[in-house]
Amino acid sequence: MDRVEAQIERLIQEIDYDEVSRLFAMLSGGKRLRAKLILKIAKEHEDAPLLAAIVELIHAASLLHDDVIDEAMTRRGKASVNATDGSKTAVMLGDILYSKAFTELVHFDKLVAQTISASVTDLSKGEMMDVKMAESFNSDEKKYLDMLYLKTATLIEAAAKASAILAGKNAAAYALYGKNLGLSFQIIDDILDITSDEATLGKPAMNDFVEGKCTLPYIYLYHALDEQDKHRLQSLHAKELSNEDTLWLKEQMKHYQTIEKSFTLAQKLSNEAQAAMHEDPELVAILETMIKRNY
């Protein structure tokens, strides 16, 4: 990871603009999940740290744009760039990071470059779908999971697949692992948005629903409720929740076990990924840590 951080620092310095360096330094690196995957899958390849750095720049760019779209004032417990320096600056910084990542990516094998670049198209498509879906209450589980795959899982899938290509390993098996890891990771995030507190999340609890996002626990709840309560749930969509509303939602979710049902799906996806990687205990360990995390 030290080599990855050194590559990221080099790429930012090569942009040769103090303002970009200042703004990038404000960003929290996060879990570096995608980078860690690449290093574990292609640990012997000399270009693995650079590929990991490129993918982390792409991920950072997507989060910058995501924060602007969501008008998020915090990211990982810190003020977002759009909060401190404005949305225009955040968008431009994201564009610069994307461009620098693609500039470096062209030096890789064509199949590796295509894998990563195609995932960025999917990621952007997923973001657009997410925004569109937030305009009204969504009760379609498949539609939600399709969006989730594009917006969140596709870059993790691509990181796993591209690093497998680098290492001469079974790209399809590693792609399945990355896809399911990404989906289950986000489902756990969706659950934690409901079950964790603001201090842990770095943002208000149940913020997803307030922003118009109908995650799995809400979708499962909708299908479990009677008609009157269905209308009540829909009426709360994309609105600030009172203490009474929050309590009602949590009580209904507890009664109908929609958190548990969502976790069961995350566990199923994780188990499928573990089966694909049964000979790689390090990758299995990542799944086990992810599924048990508090945040």
Containing 74, the helix (H) or strand (E) segment is strand 74-75
Q: How far is CA 178 from CA 53, 96, 277, 285, in A?
A: 17, 26, 10, 14
Which of 29-38, 195-204, 212-221, 286-295 comes out lowest in average pLDDT? 195-204
Whether the CB-CB separation of 12 and 93 falls below 8 Å is answered with no
How buried is 143 (Cβ within 10 angstroms: 0-12 exposed, 13-18 middle, 19+ buried)?
A: middle
Higher per-residue pLDDT: 285 or 292: 285
**Residue type (1 letter), 291:** I
Q: What is the pLDDT of residues 2-36, one digit of tens each?
A: 999 999 999 999 999 999 999 999 998 888 999 99
Provide the pLDDT confidence category of residue 295 given band limits of 50, 70 and 90.
very low
Q: Find, among 47, 68, 66, 55, the residue nearest to 29 by Cα.
A: 55
For residue 42, give both structure tokens: 């292609």
Does one domain contain both 274 and 173? yes
Does one domain contain both 77 and 222? no
What percent of the chain shows pLDDT beyond 90? 87
Does one domain contain both 259 and 230? yes
Provide the pLDDT confidence category of residue 196 given band limits of 50, 70 and 90.
confident
Question: Does residue 77 lie within any of the structural domains?
Answer: yes
Examine the fold and report which residue of 107, 136, 151 is the final residue of a domain before the chain moves on.
107
Q: What is the pLDDT of residue 202?
A: 58
**Residue type (1 letter), 173:** A
Q: What is the pLDDT of residue 242?
A: 95
Mean pLDDT confidence for 150-159: 97
Tell whether the model's pLDDT for residue 254 goes beyond 60.
yes
Q: What is the pLDDT of residue 292?
A: 84
Examine the fold and report which residue of 85, 107, 129 is the final residue of a domain before the chain moves on.
107
Q: In total, how many domains does the chain have?
A: 2
Mean pLDDT confidence for 207-232: 96
Q: Find, among 65, 293, 70, 39, the residue nearest to 185 by Cα.
A: 293
- Which pTM does this prediction carry? 0.93
Tell whether the model's pLDDT for residue 205 goes beyond 80.
no
Does one domain contain both 180 and 276? yes
Does one domain contain both 90 and 233? no
3-state secondary structure at position 75 = strand
Does one domain contain both 88 and 170? no
Question: Does residue 36 lie within any of the structural domains?
Answer: no
Q: What is the pLDDT of residues 89-101, one digit of tens each?
A: 999 999 999 999 9
**HEC profile of 173-185:** HHHHHHHHHHHHH
Does one domain contain both 293 and 159? yes
Whether the CB-CB separation of 59 and 123 falls below 8 Å is answered with no
Which of 75-84, 153-162, 261-270 comes out lowest in average pLDDT? 75-84
Whether the CB-CB separation of 261 and 220 falls below 8 Å is answered with yes
Does one domain contain both 67 and 158? no
Q: Which residue has the tokens 């205990």?
A: 281
Question: Does residue 37 lie within any of the structural domains?
Answer: no
Boundaries of domain holding 259: 119-295
3-state secondary structure at position 249 = helix
Cα 137 to Cα 202: distance, rounded to the nearest angstrom:
25
Question: Does residue 40 lie within any of the structural domains?
Answer: no
Question: Does residue 143 lie within any of the structural domains?
Answer: yes
Cα 54 to Cα 60: distance, rounded to the nearest angstrom:
10
Q: What is the pLDDT of residues 59-88, one digit of tens each?
A: 999 999 999 998 888 887 789 999 999 999
